Amino acid sequence: MDAVALTAMAGRIAEFGASPNKLAALGLNLLLAVHLAGSGWLGLALARSRSPFTALARWQVAYLPVYAVWAAAVVLAFPLAFSFG
């Protein structure tokens, strides 16, 4: 589903141009796609008993700063990049 959403977002940006909301949503969905792919890979390894649960838990926790960096970029850089107030 995330791939479908990414394709739709990219199509809208290509057709109607970029906006801060579209770029913020696109960036977040890219982060989510990477996070979901990593979680899926580690979850599959866990189900096959090839990886411990701690590997999946570490991945989940280690990815939290990535979301924080993106949120900070949207809050701090987007207003400057798009000339907000």
pLDDT tens figures, 54-80: 999 999 999 999 999 999 999 999 999
63 within 8 A of 35, measured Cβ to Cβ: yes
Per-residue confidence (pLDDT) for residue 85, from 0 to 100: 59
What is the rounded average pLDDT of the residues 20-30? 92
d(Cα 20, Cα 29) in Å, to the nearest integer? 14
pLDDT digits (tens, 9 = 90+) for 30-48: 999 999 999 999 999 999 9
| Owner of token pair 């990414």 | 6
The structural domains of the chain, with segments of one domain joined by +, span 2-81
Name the H helices within 17-85. Answer: 20-47, 53-72, 78-81
pTM of the predicted model, to two decimals? 0.84
